[in-house]
Chain A
Amino acid sequence: MIDAPGTGSNAPRHESLVDERIVVAYFMIALGYLALSMLAGLLMALQLVRWNPLNGIELLSPGRWRMIHTNVVAYGFLANAFLGALHWAVPRLMLRPVLNRALSWFILSAWQVVILSTGVGIVLGPTLQAQIPALEKLPFSLGAQGLEWGETPVWIDPLALAGLLLVAVNFMAPIVRASGPMYVTAWYFMAAFVWTFLTYAMGNFLPQYSLTGTSAGAVGGLFIHDLVGLFVTPLGWGLMYYFVPILLGKPMWSHGLSLVGFWGLAFFYPLNGIHHFLYTPIPMFLQYGAIVATIAVEMVVATVLVNFFATIWGSGRAVVTNLPIRWFYTGMVFYGITCLQCAMQTTLTFQALIHFSDWVVGHAHLVMFGVFSMWLLGIMIYLLPRIWRTEWYSRTLSEWHYWLSAVGLFVMASDLTLAGVFQGYYWASLLPWDDSVEGSQPFWILRVFAGLAMMAGQGCFFYNIYKTWRKRPFNDAAAEPPTLATGTKSAPSPRASI
């Protein structure tokens, strides 16, 4: 980091470092998957309020849609959006391009094959295998793997793992070539590339081929939690440590404290996952170990949040005036809430109440949409107009996008959290199961409307993107000084090729 490959006139130029076309391609694909995932979520929400528009169609059954919803958001939206952002951040941070641009495009294509195959496998796999004799003889299932968040069919797992290895090689090349003290973002990225590969291998192969019973369950618990903590979290925080100082125009409050956060995550996080299986036959010392490790991570999280809020101290108005900063800091507030929830959830007393309830669903939405999706959408809001060399088509649409997403998510998460508490007490009172379902209806109805608000927000974003793309200038020289997001429409101009 310290030793740049060139200074002065020899300093690398942005054009030689960043392939802007691949950043845009990843973002557009990610947004397509976001739309699909939200549609799948809406269908599940409608199923719960007994209004499934696809009722009776086996291939489009709610169980399949639920897996599409979770897999597409994790591997389709988040992974693609992260890869797009990394193609901007890593070369600029390390002042070196990725290993190979052609490899980047190959990874982009291969990853889409993995995701689409996963979707096809989940929806069609078992049916195809049952109807085609040649496929029936295969020693493995073509359908979903029986692992939460790891439903990727077993025949795709080696391909996905090879893809993750290529991602690591492509992005690690500029990082390992740099010398001198590294910025915290580079630490997070480096760890994420290693952790994601190991986590995916551990979760998808060990329970499938070598472990059984409770042992497989324990590893499954590690997998689902590490997927959040060791894949999404380091990439998310790494990007925040990169974009926030740039957008605020000032450095992080304390780089030392940010390293405490990184190393704390490295040492405390890997044992957390078993807290998903409290009150199971897993030995209590492992369950207690997971609880203690979780509390330790909460302390680490506190250092990270303190650092970011100390950084913006004195520049609070940026939350109002700077859209990406607003998305980022809203995500951080949700992150604080979700970690507070996490601390409560891992206590045995509380776990007895909320386990299996909608509290967990609300928590998952708060993490996946409220935190990481918000950060990635904020990054897109910053980068897309910059890449297209024009301001957003409409500031008003951008505002609607933010408020519908943030309020919709807040209502959904609060609603499901409360629903979880109600459901827990229903079950604890030993009333018939149906009573808890009836009692949940008001919450589930409200959830549908909250989800619709979030979808409407994304609709505003997609339209704004399309109109902004339409009005982009032909080249840099043609770019006129924009009106700085005043919401007014600019005159149409010739288009660039991106």
Chain B
Amino acid sequence: MNEQTTVKIKRRLGMWLLTAVILVPCAYGFGTKFNEFIALYRGDAEGAFAISPILNYLLASFGFLLLFFWAAFKGMFHDIERPKHTMLENEATLNRGVPRHLVDLNTRSSGSRPSKHRLLDPSRMQTGNSHEYN
């Protein structure tokens, strides 16, 4: 077994350990409270009103859980930092042809020296994956 495999196994073990440390108490807490909820529902007809906020929450959360899985399987979280660069590149494209002084209206104050950071300026943007905008 080479060193790389050992590191990989150690990492995986660490991840599962951490997962267990987080999930087991959470599952215990949730289970206990859910039991309490069922007991309340069975024992007290008036207490059944608690269902409405719980259902509201479960419905909303279930929808977002599905969305989360859909996003994960669609690869939305691969190269997770890429969208922040794409957004700025798109802005630069849209600013193309707009006179610089119209894009840069708010970046200096009276009598002060120019800010180091300016609005996105297409002429200064490098293309490709360099992710440099200034």
Chain A 249-267 against B: per-residue CB contact (8 Å), 1 yes, 0 no?
A: 1111011100100010011
Q: Is A270 engaged at the interface, CB distance under 8 Å to the other chain?
A: yes
Instruction: Report A237-279 residues with CB < 8 Å from chain B CB.
Output: 242, 245-252, 254-256, 259, 263, 266-267, 270-271, 273-274
Task: Please name the residue on chain B nearest to A242 by beta carbon.
Answer: B87
From known contacts A184-B83, A487-B110, infer whether A213 and B49 are also in contact, taking CB-CB under 8 Å: yes
Asked if A222 contacts B56 (CB within 8 A), the reply is yes
Asked if B99 contacts A92 (CB within 8 A), the reply is no
Q: Is A131 engaged at the interface, CB distance under 8 Å to the other chain?
A: no
CB of A304 to closest CB in B, whole Å: 14
Q: Is B78 engaged at the interface, CB distance under 8 Å to the other chain?
A: yes
CB of A56 to closest CB in B, whole Å: 42
CB of A315 to closest CB in B, whole Å: 5
- Provide the bound-state CA to CA distance between A317 and B114, in Å: 10
CB of B90 to closest CB in A, whole Å: 6
With a cutoff of 8 Å between Cβ atoms, the chain B residues found around residue A183 in the complex are 83-84, 86-87
With a cutoff of 8 Å between Cβ atoms, the chain A residues found around residue B63 in the complex are 194
Q: Is B11 engaged at the interface, CB distance under 8 Å to the other chain?
A: no
With a cutoff of 8 Å between Cβ atoms, the chain B residues found around residue A322 in the complex are 106-107, 115
Q: Is B77 engaged at the interface, CB distance under 8 Å to the other chain?
A: yes
Asked if B83 contacts A389 (CB within 8 A), the reply is no
Q: Which of B52, B68, B119 contacts A246 (CB 8 A)?
A: B119
Asked if B77 contacts A259 (CB within 8 A), the reply is yes
Asked if B110 contacts A317 (CB within 8 A), the reply is no
Q: Which of B78, B102, B114, B119 contacts A249 (CB 8 A)?
A: B119
From known contacts A1-B86, A219-B53, infer whether A249 and B40 are also in contact, taking CB-CB under 8 Å: no
Asked if B109 contacts A211 (CB within 8 A), the reply is no
From known contacts A1-B87, A321-B109, A485-B106, infer whether A219 and B133 are also in contact, taking CB-CB under 8 Å: no
With a cutoff of 8 Å between Cβ atoms, the chain A residues found around residue B85 in the complex are 251
CB of B85 to closest CB in A, whole Å: 6
From known contacts A181-B76, A250-B117, A263-B68, infer whether A479 and B50 are also in contact, taking CB-CB under 8 Å: no
Q: Is A50 engaged at the interface, CB distance under 8 Å to the other chain?
A: no
Instruction: Report B86-107 residues with CB < 8 Å from chain A CB.
Output: 86-88, 90-91, 93-99, 101-107
- Provide the bound-state CA to CA distance between A392 and B96, in Å: 23
With a cutoff of 8 Å between Cβ atoms, the chain A residues found around residue B117 in the complex are 248-250, 315, 318
From known contacts A206-B52, A283-B50, infer whether A320 and B109 are also in contact, taking CB-CB under 8 Å: yes
Q: Is B12 engaged at the interface, CB distance under 8 Å to the other chain?
A: no
With a cutoff of 8 Å between Cβ atoms, the chain B residues found around residue A274 in the complex are 53
Task: Please name the residue on chain A nearest to B107 by beta carbon.
Answer: A322
Q: Is B10 engaged at the interface, CB distance under 8 Å to the other chain?
A: no
With a cutoff of 8 Å between Cβ atoms, the chain A residues found around residue B96 in the complex are 11
With a cutoff of 8 Å between Cβ atoms, the chain B residues found around residue A270 in the complex are 56-57, 60-61
Q: Is B7 engaged at the interface, CB distance under 8 Å to the other chain?
A: no
With a cutoff of 8 Å between Cβ atoms, the chain A residues found around residue B8 in the complex are none
Asked if B101 contacts A482 (CB within 8 A), the reply is yes
Asked if A214 contacts B119 (CB within 8 A), the reply is no
Q: Is B126 engaged at the interface, CB distance under 8 Å to the other chain?
A: no
**Interface of chain A, helix or strand or loop or mixed?**
helix
From known contacts A184-B83, A246-B119, A249-B119, infer whether A485 and B105 are also in contact, taking CB-CB under 8 Å: yes
Q: Is B42 engaged at the interface, CB distance under 8 Å to the other chain?
A: no
From known contacts A1-B83, A181-B77, infer whether A381 and B106 are also in contact, taking CB-CB under 8 Å: yes
CB of B56 to closest CB in A, whole Å: 6
Task: Please name the residue on chain A nearest to B85 by beta carbon.
Answer: A251
CB of A139 to closest CB in B, whole Å: 24
Q: Which of A222, A283, A476 contacts B40 (CB 8 A)?
A: A283
- Provide the bound-state CA to CA distance between A252 and B86, in Å: 12
CB of B88 to closest CB in A, whole Å: 6
From known contacts A218-B49, A219-B56, A484-B104, infer whether A255 and B110 are also in contact, taking CB-CB under 8 Å: no
Q: Is A55 engaged at the interface, CB distance under 8 Å to the other chain?
A: no
Task: Please name the residue on chain A nearest to B83 by beta carbon.
Answer: A183
- Provide the bound-state CA to CA distance between A206 and B51, in Å: 13
CB of B109 to closest CB in A, whole Å: 5
Q: Is A21 engaged at the interface, CB distance under 8 Å to the other chain?
A: no
Q: Is A198 engaged at the interface, CB distance under 8 Å to the other chain?
A: yes
From known contacts A181-B78, A255-B81, infer whether A285 and B115 are also in contact, taking CB-CB under 8 Å: no
Asked if A14 contacts B102 (CB within 8 A), the reply is no
Asked if B99 contacts A479 (CB within 8 A), the reply is yes
Q: Which of B79, B91, B118 contacts A92 (CB 8 A)?
A: B91
With a cutoff of 8 Å between Cβ atoms, the chain A residues found around residue B40 in the complex are 283, 285
Task: Please name the residue on chain A nearest to B109 by beta carbon.
Answer: A321
Instruction: Report B22-69 residues with CB < 8 Å from chain A CB.
Output: 33, 36-37, 40, 47, 49-50, 52-54, 56-57, 60-61, 63-65, 68
CB of A466 to closest CB in B, whole Å: 18
From known contacts A211-B49, A215-B49, A283-B47, infer whether A266 and B78 are also in contact, taking CB-CB under 8 Å: no
Task: Please name the residue on chain B nearest to A477 by beta carbon.
Answer: B99
Asked if B82 contacts A214 (CB within 8 A), the reply is no
CB of B80 to closest CB in A, whole Å: 5
- Provide the bound-state CA to CA distance between A161 and B90, in Å: 34
With a cutoff of 8 Å between Cβ atoms, the chain B residues found around residue A396 in the complex are 110
Asked if B107 contacts A481 (CB within 8 A), the reply is no
Asked if A92 contacts B110 (CB within 8 A), the reply is no
14 A-B Cβ contacts within 8 A? A92-B94, A183-B83, A185-B87, A202-B56, A218-B49, A246-B120, A247-B119, A249-B120, A250-B117, A251-B87, A271-B57, A283-B37, A286-B50, A482-B105
- Having A215-B52, A391-B105, one finds 14 other A-B pairs with CB under 8 Å, namely A2-B86, A13-B94, A13-B97, A95-B94, A181-B75, A245-B84, A250-B117, A288-B33, A289-B33, A315-B116, A324-B106, A386-B105, A395-B110, A485-B105
The 8 lowest CB-CB distance pairs between A and B, nearest first, are A215-B49, A251-B84, A183-B83, A255-B84, A481-B101, A321-B115, A266-B64, A256-B80
